[in-house]
Amino acid sequence: MKTYIVQLESHDDVISARDKMLWSKAPRILLVWPRRGQVLRRQADLFLLQRHAQNLGAQLGVVSADCEVRANAAELGIPVFASAVQAQRGSWRRPRGKRRTNWRSRYERGPKLDLREIHEQMHEPAPESSLRRWAAFSAGLLAVLALVMFFLPSAQVRLSPVRQEQRLTLPVWASLTISTANPSGGLPAHALSVVVEGSEQGASSGKVNIPDLQASGEVEFTNLTEETKVIPAGTVALAPGETLLRFATTREVTLAAGVGKKVSAPVQALTPGLAGNAAAGAIQAVEGPLGLEVLVSNPQALQGGSDRISPAPRAEDYLALESRLQASLRASALAELTALLQPGQRLLENTLAVSKVISETHEPPLGEPGDFARLSQQVEYSAWYVLEDELQAVARTALEANRPAGFQAVPGTLELSFSPQATLDENGAAHWELTAVRQLESAWSDDLAARAIAGRSPAEAGRVLGEMVALSAEPAVRIWPAWWLRLPFLSFRIAVVRQ
């Protein structure tokens, strides 16, 4: 059967117990007396609570170790149990031989019960209540003062431990094939690329002959037909040889009718320069359909073609320009790659290399005249970078392996520097030297130091800390409030910091 359990406290009375019972919706109400304290020991108290339970439609039960309470409950016919578990499992029926004492009839046979007198007795203050209140107040005040003494004070202790430098130079290497850093010094490399372009210009150091004037003279046309032939201006006469020379008439002439009729016409070489000069008899044919109807020849040499000397770039000029241009492009690529780096990335400058030449232009081309030579290139450069965190992890591992006994690292003092030389091996890995420097100090613990000086005077705290840690100066102790004579008793109220 469902049971509503009411746990009584040492300060409960009939009224407070009744209030607790009001929440019950169960057919059984079990009052559990506290292990310490004496409450509701009078039989009248139990009687009032029993009547209240009956008004709620529930049966009242008692769990108490107090002999007087158990006796009063037995006289009133209230079931008594040793524990709440026994009450929930056991029977609440009274033995057949026992009958509940009728409280009302009992008092009807004797003096009648005065409820007002009972109420006054219940609320009559004990003679010692005032003294108890003062004692409780004093105890509470002392407890508050104790808490203030423990929690109010705070202190800051500044220590200056003896320091020394730890320096270590270790070989490290990086490769694109490594995925994670390893204690042996291997680091994963990451590729970064950029495209740059530029040009360089310089004076030409070579010479080249440039055709200047065109050769000229007269040729003689011979008619092979019985008809008059008009030879227009621009008719081309040919002089075969290693190089075919072409000459064009400069004006129109008419060849009289009849086989063997002849006429002379002025011509000019279509190829300028010395190459356009032709010896006597060199011209032998007419270009086009007219060549089937007339013959042509040059009884005299065609001369007058000449060359002039002009500056022109040589291959050496472009090689010098390429060397200068690559140095300029390399510097630009290095600057752009550095700008692309994110925080925590370090560029391996010596891994910078040309990935490919996208375009290259020579102006003018070799063999062509020009006072200046100009070289333009568009080049893709690539380089490797490593992560600062992985560098520090490798450095710390090596430093810790060589750390002197009795010392610890000072946080935030690790500095890394690269060797200027880096080489690539046959497997494509970059090798260089890494120098790691950090500060060491005597090994100590903030928590242990705070616990060691808790509750001590500043002078005692300085002596204890001097025995624990090798210091370069006396500890600086600041206590708040300033008039407090000792450090806090609670170690977490003491802040131990480095100077």
Rounded to whole angstroms, the Cα distance separating 372 from 204 reads: 5
In angstroms and rounded to an integer, the radius of gyration of the C-alpha atoms of the chain is 59
- Given phi > 0 = left and psi -120 to 50 = alpha, else beta, which region is 394? alpha
Q: Both 285 and 237 in a single domain?
A: yes
Q: Both 316 and 364 in a single domain?
A: yes
What pLDDT, on a 0 to 100 scale, did the predictor assign at position 417?
87
What pLDDT, on a 0 to 100 scale, did the predictor assign at position 113?
47
Q: Both 349 and 221 in a single domain?
A: no
Rounded to whole angstroms, the Cα distance separating 246 from 256 reads: 25
Q: Both 302 and 270 in a single domain?
A: yes
Domain membership flag for residue 76: yes
What pLDDT, on a 0 to 100 scale, did the predictor assign at position 131?
78
Q: Both 331 and 289 in a single domain?
A: no
- Among 294, 310, 326, where does a domain finish? 310
Give the 3-state DSSP-derived string for the chain, with helices as H, strands as E and coil as C: CCEEEEECCCCCCHHHHHHHHCCCCCCEEEEECCCCCCCCCCHHHHHHHHHHHHHCCCEEEEECCCHHHHHHHHHCCCCEECCHHHHHHCCCCCCCCCCCCCHHHHHHHCCCCCHHHHHHHHHCCCCCHHHHHHHHHHHHHHHHHHHHHHHCCEEEEEECECEEEEEEEEEEEEECCCCCCCCCCEEECEEEEEEEEEEEEEECCEEEEEEEECCEEEEEEEECCCCCEEECCCCEEEECCCCCEEEEECCCEEECCCCCCEEEEEEEECCCCHHHCECCCCCCEECCHHHHCEEEECCCCEECCEEEEEEECCHHHHHHHHHHHHHHHHHHHHHHHHHHCCCCEEEEEEEEEEEEEEEEEEECCCCCCCCEEEEEEEEEEEEEEEEHHHHHHHHHHHHHHCCCCCEEECCCCCEEEEEEEEEECCCCCEEEEEEEEEEEEECCCHHHHHHHHCCCCHHHHHHHHHHHCCECCCCEEEEECCCCCCCCCCHHHEEEEEC
Query: Distances from the Cα of 459 to the Cαs of 27, 46, 455, 477, 497, in angstroms?
Result: 70, 65, 12, 9, 18
- What are residue 478's DSSP bridge partners? 156
Q: Both 8 and 118 in a single domain?
A: yes
CATH code at position 89: 3.30.750
Cβ atoms within 10 A of the Cβ of 208, count?
19
Q: Both 244 and 380 in a single domain?
A: no
Q: What token pair was written down for 271?
A: 């190829």
Q: Both 98 and 221 in a single domain?
A: no
Rounded to whole angstroms, the Cα distance separating 100 from 435 reads: 97
Rounded to whole angstroms, the Cα distance separating 182 from 185 reads: 6
- Given phi > 0 = left and psi -120 to 50 = alpha, else beta, which region is 285? beta
| Under 8 Å between Cβ of 58 and 4 | yes
Closest to 211 in 3D by CA, of 369, 370, 365: 369
Closest to 100 in 3D by CA, of 42, 50, 45, 26: 50
Query: What is the pairing mode between strands 80-81 and 59-63?
Result: parallel
Domain membership flag for residue 64: yes
Domain membership flag for residue 478: no
Q: Both 368 and 380 in a single domain?
A: yes
Q: Which parts of the chain register pLDDT below 50? A: 97-101, 103-113, 123-124, 126-128
Q: Both 238 and 371 in a single domain?
A: no
Q: What are phi and psi of 61, to 5 degrees?
A: -130, 160
* Residues 6+ away with beta carbon under 8 Å from 427: 175
Q: How many domains does the chain have?
A: 3
Write down the pTM of the prediction.
0.51
Displacement of CA 157 from its chain's centroid (Å): 35
Domain membership flag for residue 218: yes
Q: Both 230 and 84 in a single domain?
A: no
Q: Both 247 and 335 in a single domain?
A: no
What pLDDT, on a 0 to 100 scale, did the predictor assign at position 219?
95
Rounded to whole angstroms, the Cα distance separating 78 from 59 reads: 8
Range of the domain at 345: 190-205+312-385
Closest to 398 in 3D by CA, of 173, 172, 180, 177: 172
Domain membership flag for residue 135: no
| Under 8 Å between Cβ of 222 and 213 | no
What pLDDT, on a 0 to 100 scale, did the predictor assign at position 42?
87
Domain membership flag for residue 38: yes
What pLDDT, on a 0 to 100 scale, did the predictor assign at position 107?
44
